[in-house]
Structures are given as C-alpha cells and as structure tokens.
Amino acid sequence: MAPLLLQLAVLGVALVAAALILIFIVAFVTATKMPSLHRHEEEKFFLNAKGQKETLPSIWDSPTKQLSVVVPSYNEEKRLPVMMDEALGYLEKRQRYGSDKIRVITLVKNRGKGGAIRMGVFSSRGKKILMADADGATKFPDVEKLEKGLNDLQPWPDQMAIACGSRAHLEKESIAQRSYFRTLLMYGFHFLVWFLCVKGIRDTQCGFKLLTREAASRTFSSLHIERWAFDVELLYIAQFLKIPIAEIAVNWTEIEGSKLVPFWSWLQMGKDLLFIRLRYLTGAWRLEQTRKMN
C-alpha cells in the first residue's frame, strides 16, 4: 500500500510541475514584448467648442495646466453627467485650476478601461494627472486629500510620485453588505495581488489616483494590461521603479450600474495577475526607458 501511495504522490508532484511549466511557457509565448502605444489617426484630434478639429497635446510636451482629470467612459450616459456636474462645480471654485476645457477623445475601438485611461493620460496637459471613475463613487473634493498625500511624499525622485485613493477603511462595512461568495472572491483577489504583484497597498483597484506628470508618463508607457487589472500592473511598475506611493483614505459610495461581473471579471483579473508576475519574471516583459508614442 505504501509504495502505491508513494507512486501517486510522485505522480501528483510531476503533474503539478508539468502544469506550472506549461503555464510559464504559455505566459512567455503569448506575451506582447512591448506595450502597444499606437494611436489611430482619428484619435489624434478632438473637436473644440466651434466643432473644429484640434490636435491633441502629448504627455511629453511641457505642461500648460496644473491639473488634468481623465475620466474613462463607456456607455455611461446615466452616471457620467452626475459625476461631471460635481467635478466641474468643484473645479470652478478653484480658480487656479478652472474648467476652461472639456476634451472628448473618441477611441476607434474598445481598448478597455486601462487602455482608455492611457489615451487620456497621453493627451493630458497638467503637471498632475487625476484618474477618476465615471460613476462618481468617490467624492471629487477628496482630490485635496490626494494632493496632500502627494506633497507629503516630497522630495519626489525624478519628480515622480503617486497618491492612491483607498477604500480599505470601509472593508468591514462592505463585508457586511456583501454575500459570502463575493467576500471570498474579494479576499482571494487581495491575496493574489499581495502574493504576486504589489506589496503594501491594501486597495489597488480604487479608480481615484493622482500622479505627477513624470510618474504618469513613465508608468503608462510601460503598461501592458488594458482591462480591469491594469491598476495592479501600474503599481507593480511604480514599485519596481521605486516611485513613492501614498495610500489615502477617501469617501466612497457604491453606485449602481457597475459593468464588473463578479465571478467572470474576477477570474479574468486573477489570470491577468498571474501573467503579470510570470511575464516579468521570465523576461517576456521588461521595463525599459520611456518611449514616445508612435
């Protein structure tokens, strides 16, 4: 009986090893060596107030504003107007920022949330760049908390720093409102993020993040993931480059209309987390010098 159990144990270990080797090979072979920074011709322009085409600026140009706000939007007809009203109302009170321009960048194809934000970041004019979700779940005035968190990180190495909005302080309350299954998925995702990619950041997925212009250009030009897990790779890159990161508690309210399908979206994100780690580990993805968009 003992020899049979030993043989089964050896067989099990061999199968696990073979599966891991196969995953490594798949991750390496299917990896795109460098992130695609291509912009379609139609994505190089925006329509001004007169309906005329104007060329979009570049992240590599000198900044002409104090703050740029990037809001990814896909089928957000109901939630976006509420968020924009709050954001513009706040910005109009801050004269040094103002709200003199709203620019809409229409993408030729769906690039995913991460891809859409990257296009917005690459067209930004601000010294600082704020990512904000279209649902308005985070109160826009909380940008002041992120600004303070960013300033507290000074001196910034190479003018790079990131302040991440965080909902971690609301975790106990959210658990009480969630089903056991969704709570299990949440803990599983947090463990994978910590184990595979990002240490020391409790909430990587909050859509409210403030970056210096230099940090935005450096991290987004190296970003591969364009779907829901892009935040994790963004912070993985930032930690690899030793960019200082502050995690700041923000006010947050769950807004109906989320496009995140709990099980399948989390499964996709879990796969992305594994592939992020494996592809950087095997050298399929490398962090190189900042590249300008073609």
The whole-number average pLDDT for the span 77-106 is: 82
Domain count, the chain: 1
Domain range for 167:
52-282
Show the DSSP H helices in 202-261 as ranges: 213-220, 230-240
Q: Compute the CA torsion angle 190, 192, 197, 199 (nearest 10 deg).
A: 40
Which pLDDT does position 92 carry in this prediction? 84
Examine residue 20 and state whether it is found in any structural domain, yes or no.
no
What gap in Å lies between CA 86 and CA 89, rounded to an integer?
Answer: 5
From 32, 2, 5, select the one nearest 275 (Cα to Cα): 32
pLDDT at position 123 over 70: yes
Examine residue 40 and state whether it is found in any structural domain, yes or no.
no
Examine residue 38 and state whether it is found in any structural domain, yes or no.
no
- How confident is the model over 15-50, as pLDDT tens digits? 655 655 655 565 555 556 566 677 888 899 988 878
With bands split at pLDDT 50, 70 and 90, how would you rate the model's confidence at 294?
very low
Which pLDDT does position 37 carry in this prediction? 73
Examine residue 80 and state whether it is found in any structural domain, yes or no.
yes
Examine residue 4 and state whether it is found in any structural domain, yes or no.
no
- How confident is the model over 218-273, as pLDDT tens digits? 999 999 998 889 999 999 999 999 999 999 999 988 777 666 666 677 788 888 99
- How confident is the model over 152-178, as pLDDT tens digits? 999 999 999 999 999 988 876 665 455
With bands split at pLDDT 50, 70 and 90, how would you rate the model's confidence at 142?
very high
- How confident is the model over 94-113, as pLDDT tens digits? 765 544 578 999 999 898 99
Q: For residue 165, what is the domain's CATH number?
A: 3.90.550.10
The whole-number average pLDDT for the span 52-74 is: 93
Examine residue 1 and state whether it is found in any structural domain, yes or no.
no
Examine residue 81 and state whether it is found in any structural domain, yes or no.
yes
Examine residue 195 and state whether it is found in any structural domain, yes or no.
yes
Q: What is the pTM of this model?
A: 0.84
Q: Are 250 and 135 in contact (CB under 8 A)?
A: no
Residues sharing a CB contact under 8 Å with residue 1, sequence separation 6 or more, in sequence order = none
